[in-house]
Amino acid sequence: MGKWLVAAMLLCLLATGCGTVARNETSPSPQNDDRVRAQQTAPRKKEISSPKQVAAHLELLAKQIPGVKGAHCVVMGNTAVVGIDVDGKLERSRVGTLKYAVAEAFRKDPYGVDAIVTADMDLAHRLQEVRADWNRGRPVAGFAEEMADIIGRIVPQLPRDTMPERTRGHEEASPKINKPL
């Protein structure tokens, strides 16, 4: 019985070995590769060594776009956030076009290539306040206060989490609703 088992295993190994045909095709070498290769042409992000100068530079670039009334930039680490001021009466599509034009101008600048551009009035105003705190010598405190305000506006208020006010008679201030029996 052992001979039959060994013979069957050898036969299986030979059958599986014959199923694979030796191929002379090898993976293509880089020298024989006919695909077109392109070098990266976009400007590389520069290391920001002077945040105030970079912020002033990006604000100036944004203000040069026709239709942009003002710009406020905050640089944290190696990232710049730029809020642009536009006419409040502009249509949303025109505001989007202006924001795109600013981003397009930044694309050609090594400091602005990875900047974040916003045309939201509230965020632009908050960036202006952060920048003013930065200039007053309160960069961390000003940034923390504004981030707390921004997050406070983002976090939703759920009705279930509200606590009703109590009146003098310890009754709920909310109107009574007739509950079905």
Domains of the chain from N-terminus onward: 51-157 (3.30.70.1350)
Q: Give the C-alpha separation, 59 to 119, whole Å.
A: 13
Structure confidence at residue 150 (pLDDT)? 72
For 26-36, b/e burial (b = at least 16 CB within 10 A) is eeeeeeeeeee
The edge-to-edge listing of strands for the beta sheet with 70-76 is: 70-76, 79-85, 116-118
Structure confidence at residue 76 (pLDDT)? 80
Mean pLDDT for the chain overall: 76
Structure confidence at residue 167 (pLDDT)? 52
pTM (predicted TM-score): 0.56
Model pLDDT for residues 12-47, shown as the tens digit of each residue: 666 666 555 555 555 555 566 566 666 655 556 667
Structure confidence at residue 57 (pLDDT)? 92
Structure confidence at residue 144 (pLDDT)? 82
Phi and psi (nearest 5°) for 84?
A: -110, 145
Please tell me the chain's helix, strand, coil percentages from 3-state DSSP, rounded to the nearest 5.
Answer: 45, 10, 45
Model pLDDT for residues 111-165, shown as the tens digit of each residue: 888 888 988 887 888 888 888 888 888 878 887 887 787 777 766 666 766 777 7
Model pLDDT for residues 45-97, shown as the tens digit of each residue: 667 788 889 889 999 999 999 999 999 888 887 788 889 999 888 898 999 99
